[in-house]
Amino acid sequence: MKRLQAFKFQLTPNGQQTRQMSRFAGSCRFVFNKALALQKEWYQSDPTSKFSYVKLANLLPSWKQ
């Protein structure tokens, strides 16, 4: 018989870590929104086009700059 066990962890970041986590979340939100807008634009121009992870991943370095 298998026994399942769970653990609870609580993060207690200091001020600098809180800022870094906020910046990280903001960056993720920016990339998601930009990719979504780009996919919508592609779909409006050509509804039969396929979306791929590779296309979007290749754009990330240029977005970083």
The confidence score (pLDDT) of residue 52 equals 84
The confidence score (pLDDT) of residue 65 equals 84
Instruction: State the Cα–Cα distance between residues 60 and 18, nearest whole angstrom.
Output: 25
C-beta separation of 43 from 49 below 8 A: yes
pTM above 0.75, yes or no: no
Of the candidates 64, 1, 11, the residue with the CA atom closest to the CA atom of residue 34: 64
- Which runs of consecutive H residues, i.e. helices, occur in the chain? 15-45, 53-64
Tens-digit pLDDT string for the chain (65 aa): 889 999 999 999 999 999 999 999 999 999 999 999 999 998 899 888 787 889 899 999 998 88
